[in-house]
Chain A
Amino acid sequence: MYVQIEGLDFSYEKNEPVIQGVSFSMQEGEIVAVLGSSGSGKSTLLRLLSGLEVPNEGKIMIDEKMLCNRQQFVSCEKRNVGMVFQDYALFPHMNVEKNIAFGLKGYSKDAKKKRIETMLKLVNMVEKQHAYPHELSGGQQQRIALARALAPEPSILLLDEPFSNLDADLKMRIRQELRTIMKQTQMTSIFVTHDYDDAKAIADRIVFLENGQIKYEETL
């Protein structure tokens, strides 16, 4: 299995557990939607996978690499996990090009340029290369955020409520686009959402999360 998560437990200090005994696994290239209402712990699950939070208990393994268990913990910046944030978190002081280049560590100048070009082509935004985030529409921002997350070739892509900031008619179009891009890149992806339609439109499999526990799964 490409992604293996076992017995994940998490709680914020002195509070009720947020994630309880979550286990699931994924195959390479699979797209999984985590569906749950607000407060179900779905965003926390992403933060645990990305290494932004440290679980109390449990094991995370991606691509044969142990990221977290009782003995070790690989911090966020060393995990090679791509993430698209709910409100995209594009750096406002950098233009599109710089935003995408930000995660490209260890690339030569030329390679960097090529990679940016490739990513911009992938999300169909070549003409916006020099624009600043505040000059872009919500949909455009989302595409750049996606390009930025994919640019360093992460082992897995995490998307946190990717559609929550978009208008309804825009959402329909972008959903399709997103699935195309993800399938095109063969990217193993997890995205969390509260909208069953979103999940159905994009995912290969849906995981239902409730009170920090997986209730059931549905393969599409």
Chain B
Amino acid sequence: MRFLAVIKPRLHIFSIISIIASLLIILPLLQIVFGLFTPASDAWIHIRTHLLRGYLFNTMILIIAVAILSTSIGLFTAFVVTRFEFKGRQLLSWTLILPLAIPSYIAAYIYVDMMSYTGTFSRFFRAIFNAEHGINIMNMPGAILLFSLTLYPYVYMFSKSALEKQSASYEENARLLGAYKFRIFWRVILPLLRPALVAGTLLVVLETLNDYGVVEYLNIRVFSFAIFDAWFRLGDTAAAIRLSGVLMLVVFVIIFIERVLRGKKRYYMHVKNRPIKRVSLRGFRRVVYPGVLLLILSFGFLFPVLQLLYYARLTFFDVMNMAFVYLVINSVSIALMATLIIVFLAVMLANFGRKHDHILKRGLLKITNLGYAIPGAVIAIAVMLFFIDIDHRLYPIYRFFNPETRRLILTSSLLMLLFAYVLRFMAIGFNAIEAAYDKIGMKFTEASYSLKQTKLKTLLKVDVPLIQGGLVTAFIIVFIDVIKELPLTLILRPTNYDTLASSVYRYAREEMIQESAVPSLVIIVIASILIYWLTHRKKKVVSKDVRTN
């Protein structure tokens, strides 16, 4: 009845941008949902009878094992770094994030090479242990190790920040109540860490499900492999869409189970935050703990990078030319563009959703963030079909300006690729910015409104400076993700457009691992520098004062 009066004060430019953006994101995804209801094709029946069971089984094994292993590594490293004092702790505490700079597919290419008969590791083992056979990592255990080694930093980062924030009073209380160290860990520290562990592990699982490069190279028959297989080998888009429907179901079940298990427990309560004092390591632990961390770092980062450096030295002059310079410029500029768009839209959406006051709005935001749960393969199909459809609809307009025009203007343009990146990585930017908004709460914004400032001025003068940290975080992690991204880039990039990731893939596919070293290293160096920035930027004094209520 008072619809206008209720809606009007909320319908400002930010809401409009947000609503349009989320609709644009939802529409292509709807196509996938509708695809589920098309009649079953022969290929689908073939997949269902011969392959589906294997896909499900392999996918389950892979994500469960990767989740367990990466969570263990991430938790262990985070615990050691936050609770113990030892030489080199500072250095390790940020370098342990570096494996994130290596895309899983590059790790796979280089590890397979190192482990192959002619590879560095195999020759090393032959020389030292006189072992006849190398270690074959082109199988499920190999994939599990590769994913865990490159993805554990997600768990590490979340756990580390949670452990640093965890107040000493819980632990001291537990000790006063007579609990032993072991018990304290299992009954107090771990349960309190759970939200962080779940968040980190969920990211690991989603990244694993999204990957195509590794599972293709190692021939691990999981869902993203199956989707590409159905799409390309069997030439059946509908079957590919059905498979992705099943995959999405798996993701939702995982998320749902976590929600149910969490139940009504709360993990955050405001307790005066007194950081825990780090204990100096003694005896054999002084060597063993840092040693294990160094070993993890070596396998996750140092060894692959060293091998790549060696190959880069061998092939540098074959690969280095003007085209390569353009490759770098392309990668950086498209990542920059995608990142800026994502951060901008994320600010709009976060602003739009700050007051979770309407169920429709909540739903809209949830769906907007769905992209991250959907493997690149599926997003690629959806975006491609969506853009062709748009072009057909816009054709009369094109013709109005230029009677000779082609029909497909937007399809296979840079815009399409950008759109796909936005769809896929929106959630990452959004979550970083939403977290920053949560931290400052509504009061500063409301204070600004009460001082007669417009929404735009409030955003620029009050919100943006206060969530600056969140903006930088969003920028860095989205940028790293885009520059590493493979499946979308491969399928949707415009004519004559190559990026570092696509060229690495191309070389690896042509079985020229040595030649792939230079572009791989450029990706890794860029990502590493950004990680360094992320971990070393100065926290401004102001943010300390932002008290939460």
Direct interface between A and B, CB < 8 A:
yes
Interface residues of A (CB under 8 A from B): 12-13, 50-52, 54, 56-57, 68, 70-73, 75-78, 80-83, 85-87, 89, 91-93, 102-103, 105, 132-134, 148-149, 152, 158
| Any A CB within 8 A of the CB of B279 | no
Residues of A within 8 A of B446 (CB): 50, 52, 76, 83, 85, 89
Let me know if A152 and B549 touch, CB within 8 A: no
Instruction: Pick 21 A–B contacts, CB within 8 A, sort by A.
Output: A50-B449, A50-B450, A54-B6, A56-B2, A57-B2, A68-B5, A70-B5, A71-B5, A73-B8, A80-B452, A82-B450, A89-B447, A91-B448, A93-B465, A93-B542, A103-B452, A134-B544, A148-B451, A149-B450, A149-B451, A152-B451
Let me know if A77 and B443 touch, CB within 8 A: no
Let me know if B444 and A89 touch, CB within 8 A: yes
CB distance from B233 to the nearest CB of A (A): 50
| Any A CB within 8 A of the CB of B454 | yes
Let me know if B453 and A77 touch, CB within 8 A: yes
Which 10 A-B residue pairs are closest in the complex by CB-CB distance? A103-B451, A134-B545, A83-B450, A76-B449, A89-B443, A89-B447, A92-B545, A92-B542, A93-B542, A75-B9
Residues of B within 8 A of A81 (CB): 450
Q: A52-B449, A73-B8, A134-B545 are in contact. List 11 more A-B contacts (CB 8 A).
A: A50-B449, A75-B449, A76-B450, A85-B443, A91-B462, A92-B546, A93-B540, A102-B451, A102-B453, A134-B542, A152-B452
| Any A CB within 8 A of the CB of B547 | yes
- Per the bound structure, the CA–CA distance linking A4 and B544 in Å amounts to 42
Residues of A within 8 A of B455 (CB): 77
- Per the bound structure, the CA–CA distance linking A103 and B458 in Å amounts to 11
- Per the bound structure, the CA–CA distance linking A124 and B465 in Å amounts to 29
Let me know if A77 and B5 touch, CB within 8 A: no
From A75, A76, A83, A134, name the one whose CB has the most chain B CB atoms within 10 angstroms.
A76
- Per the bound structure, the CA–CA distance linking A72 and B453 in Å amounts to 20
- A70-B2, A72-B5, A87-B443 are contacts. A103–B453 as well, Cβ < 8 Å? yes
Number of A-B pairs whose CB atoms are under 8 Å?
93
* Majority secondary structure of chain B interface residues (helix, strand, loop or mixed): helix
CB distance from A94 to the nearest CB of B (A): 8
CB distance from B471 to the nearest CB of A (A): 13
Interface residues of B (CB under 8 A from A): 2, 5-6, 8-9, 357-359, 443-444, 446-455, 458, 461-462, 465-466, 540-547, 549
Residues of B within 8 A of A158 (CB): 450
From A13, A92, A148, name the one whose CB has the most chain B CB atoms within 10 angstroms.
A92
Let me know if A13 and B452 touch, CB within 8 A: no
Let me know if A87 and B547 touch, CB within 8 A: yes
Let me know if B545 and A85 touch, CB within 8 A: no
- Per the bound structure, the CA–CA distance linking A76 and B542 in Å amounts to 26
Residues of A within 8 A of B358 (CB): 13
CB distance from B33 to the nearest CB of A (A): 27
Residues of A within 8 A of B461 (CB): 102
- Per the bound structure, the CA–CA distance linking A93 and B547 in Å amounts to 13
- Per the bound structure, the CA–CA distance linking A98 and B94 in Å amounts to 37
- Per the bound structure, the CA–CA distance linking A28 and B465 in Å amounts to 38
- Per the bound structure, the CA–CA distance linking A148 and B452 in Å amounts to 12
- Per the bound structure, the CA–CA distance linking A72 and B5 in Å amounts to 6
- A72-B5, A73-B8, A134-B544 are contacts. A105–B444 as well, Cβ < 8 Å? no
- Per the bound structure, the CA–CA distance linking A202 and B462 in Å amounts to 32
CB distance from A168 to the nearest CB of B (A): 20
Residues of A within 8 A of B544 (CB): 134
Residues of A within 8 A of B5 (CB): 54, 68, 70-73
Let me know if B447 and A85 touch, CB within 8 A: yes
CB distance from B310 to the nearest CB of A (A): 48
Query: A87 touches which one: B450, B453, B542, B549 (CB < 8 A)?
Result: B549
Residues of A within 8 A of B462 (CB): 91
Closest to B444 in A: A89
- Per the bound structure, the CA–CA distance linking A50 and B444 in Å amounts to 14
Let me know if A13 and B542 touch, CB within 8 A: no
CB distance from A57 to the nearest CB of B (A): 8
Let me know if B451 and A13 touch, CB within 8 A: no
Residues of A within 8 A of B451 (CB): 82, 102-103, 148-149, 152
CB distance from B159 to the nearest CB of A (A): 29
CB distance from A72 to the nearest CB of B (A): 7
- Per the bound structure, the CA–CA distance linking A89 and B458 in Å amounts to 14
Let me know if B449 and A93 touch, CB within 8 A: no
Closest to A151 in B: B451
Residues of B within 8 A of A77 (CB): 449-450, 452-455, 458
